[in-house]
A = this chain, B = another copy of it.
Amino acid sequence: MADVKVTVLAGGVGGARFVRGLRAALESEGADITVVVNTGDDLWLSGVRLQPDIDSILYALAGVNDAERGWGRAGESERVSAELREWGAGWPWFTLGDLDLGTHLARTGWLRDGLSYTQVAERLGSRWPIGVRLLPMTDTEVDTQVVVEDGSRLHFQEWWTRHRAVLRAVRFENPGIDGATPAPGVVEAITGADVVVLAPSNPVVSIGPILSVPGIRGALGDAARVVGVSPIIGGKVVRGMADACLTAIGVETSADAVARHYGQRADGGLLDTWLVAEEDAALAPGLAAEGWDVRVEPLWMTDLERSATLARAAITD
């Protein structure tokens, strides 16, 4: 039997946990896993290019992530960052670990040498035997911007990390995304997969930008099967401040509202199947009545085994 082909659309931490689980679930049988990663979180900081979602997934798959803190490298230090603060340079509120900075500098050097983001992701993915292929959603820079209530515009990272998403967002934009194309291999990874999974990542600023790259939505329409995993459990976001993002686009913070936001394929939406948490089992009948293939599963990815069980459930017909 040929290896099962799975493609995951993912943001950072939630995506990383899901993909680790998927890799573990398929370890014994052989699998061809591609992760299409959101690059809307990317930023230029003091002339250096950061890609938080790419790195979160890379570090988690390599086992060098700081599991306790939930992001960055284990055993991290912040000597350079402290110096930057002394200089009054960069974004003082943005933590920049020394080990992490090594990644950023390597990436920046390669970009300045003329490599594309796809080529950079390939190099990053080759340092450790991560067992999956990492693809940026696009090779074009389309950093997410947030327009807040008073009309001003912030880089997503500034809104999210500096202001902890408390400034009321009225809209998210990815300038330049209309002219962007999917990175090489992305469309093929989606249309050629046995199953495509929308990871339990932020629907607005992680999955949203991926879906906004012209051509990706269409590729999903041609996919064999598309499964979504709810990032909302018991009416709450699992981590982060996705509720602030959902509110801004007029979507309720609930597993069924997010499902309807993605839409079911029979109605011209994206999904064949939607996984909701046991805590949200009460929502399943309503979705099922609308024709959804909705499944109730344990969605908490608190350890690798649970993540693997969830991933297995997600890719099972």
Contact = CB atoms under 8 A, between A and B. Distances in A.
B98 A79 contact: yes
Contacts of A84: 102, 105-106
Contacts of A47: 47-49, 105, 108-109, 111-112
A87 B106 contact: yes
A110 interface: yes
A125 to B, nearest CB: 12
Contacts of A99: 79-80, 83
A87 B111 contact: no
Q: Which size bracket describes the interface of A in this complex?
A: 20 to 34
A89 B110 contact: yes
Contacts of A127: 86-87
A161 interface: no
B80 A105 contact: yes
Interface string A279-290: 000000000000
A176 interface: no
Copies of this chain:
2
Interface in A90-112: 90, 98-99, 101-103, 105-106, 108-112
B77 A103 contact: no
A106 B47 CA distance: 9
Contacts of A101: 80, 83, 101
Given A86-B127, A87-B103, A103-B87, A46 B108 contact: yes
With most chain B CB atoms within 10 A of its CB, the pick from A45, A82, A98, A103 is A98
B89 A109 contact: yes
20 contacts: A45-B109, A46-B105, A47-B47, A47-B48, A47-B49, A47-B105, A77-B79, A79-B102, A80-B80, A80-B98, A80-B101, A80-B102, A80-B105, A83-B99, A83-B105, A87-B102, A87-B106, A89-B105, A90-B106, A101-B101
Interface of A: 44-49, 77, 79-84, 86-90, 98-99, 101-103, 105-106, 108-112, 123, 127
